Amino acid sequence: MQAIVFPPYQNCDKPQLSDVQKKILELKEKRNAVILAHNYVCDEIQQIADYVGDSLGLSREAKKTDADVIAFAGVDFMAETAKILNPDKTVVLPDHAAGCTLEELCHPAELAVFKREHPNAIVISYINCSAGVKELSDIICTSGNALDIVKQIPENREIIFCPDQHLGSWIVEKTGRDLILWHGYCWAHTQYKADELLALKRAFPNTPLVCHPECPKAVRDTADCVCSTEKMISYCREHPSDKFIIATVVEMIHRLRREIPNKTFIAARASGRPSQHCKNMLMNTPEKLLACLENLEPRIELSKEVMDRARRPIEKMLEMSK
């Protein structure tokens, strides 16, 4: 079977910084900026970011930074979260059109109606949602802390979980809680198919398959480990195997290789393709990152009222995740 195999990073030549990357680093110092990058953006940005991580880690970094400018290489809801946590800082995003299917599939007006139908329910929203949905939520969560947060809610309380139905169904499996699930999904993670992954496991016997909980249940059932991107790091580092199949956006493998340089990583096939990208994350390019630092645009702008309301459930998440 054709597969993309990434050999141990320690055996490969290390890339040299391009002129654009060097200019970004120079301008970052001039602007007193910090570059935050999600695990799914291109390697050229990951190489020069101050912090690369998942949504929970990025939220924590955004909250504690003392930089004047936050350049957020990710998608719009992530940059919004950074602005909500840092209302007095300038937050820029390389491409304002970089959205998220999960955000698009959960509109605040629809959630408001849903809440009225379940007046006693606590609303836990996955961080992959708009500031408007965060305003209506009681607690925000990420794939890295969702299980722990749900476990802290009294068992007699009804819970609405939105917007990711697949992450929600995984939480139901792991906790036994009867959640009221919104029917959103991550387009990229729904591209994985169980039959393709089983064929890949046959091609690479005794190789653990690691997948993200945003994957549908049939895909999760083929995996040896289902976890957030951050926990993929610790799982692959601590597991005795020297190679792994990774069923999440392929750019995650760049970070895995840097942090675990002695192991091999295999990209999981997705709907006939040898790997899966997030098209919105790939809208972040080094050239756009340079331009947003030069012009301080596109800039994230939210009203004080929206930020104040949206900040409460985010801070509740951070408090419950200590």
Distance CA 87, CA 79 (A): 12
Residue-wise pLDDT for 72-102, tens only, equals: 999 999 999 999 999 999 999 999 999 999 9
For 274-282, what is the mean pLDDT? 96
Residue-wise pLDDT for 37-53, tens only, equals: 999 999 999 999 999 99
**What pLDDT shows up at residue 171?**
98
Distance CA 172, CA 176 (A): 5
CB atoms under 10 Å from CB of 208, counted, come to 18
**What domains, with CATH codes, occur in the chain?**
14-98+281-301 (3.40.50.10800), 102-187+305-320 (3.40.50.10800), 189-267 (3.40.50.10800)
Residue linked to tokens 């940005």: 45
**What pLDDT shows up at residue 316?**
96
For 228-248, what is the mean pLDDT? 97
**What pLDDT shows up at residue 63?**
82
Q: Is the pLDDT of residue 146 over 90?
A: yes
For 121-145, what is the mean pLDDT? 96
**What pLDDT shows up at residue 292?**
97
Reported as a pLDDT band with limits 50, 70 and 90, residue 147 is very high
**What pLDDT shows up at residue 270?**
95
pTM: 0.95
Residue-wise pLDDT for 188-200, tens only, equals: 999 999 999 999 9
Q: Is the pLDDT of residue 148 over 70?
A: yes
| DSSP string for 229-276 | HHHHHHHHHHSS-SEEEEES-TTHHHHHHHHSTTSEEEEPPBTTBSS-
Distance of CA 196 to the CA centre of its chain: 24
**What pLDDT shows up at residue 14?**
84
**What pLDDT shows up at residue 54?**
87
Reported as a pLDDT band with limits 50, 70 and 90, residue 60 is confident
Q: Write down the mean pLDDT value for the chain.
A: 96
Q: Is the pLDDT of residue 2 over 90?
A: no
| DSSP string for 58-84 | HHHHHHH---SEEEEES-HHHHHHHHH
For 135-151, what is the mean pLDDT? 96
CB–CB of 185/102 below 8 Å? yes
For 30-39, what is the mean pLDDT? 96
148-159 as b/e: b if 16+ CB within 10 A: ebbeebeeeeeb
Helix (H, G, I), strand (E, B) or coil at 159: strand
**What pLDDT shows up at residue 150?**
97
Q: Is the pLDDT of residue 1 over 80?
A: no
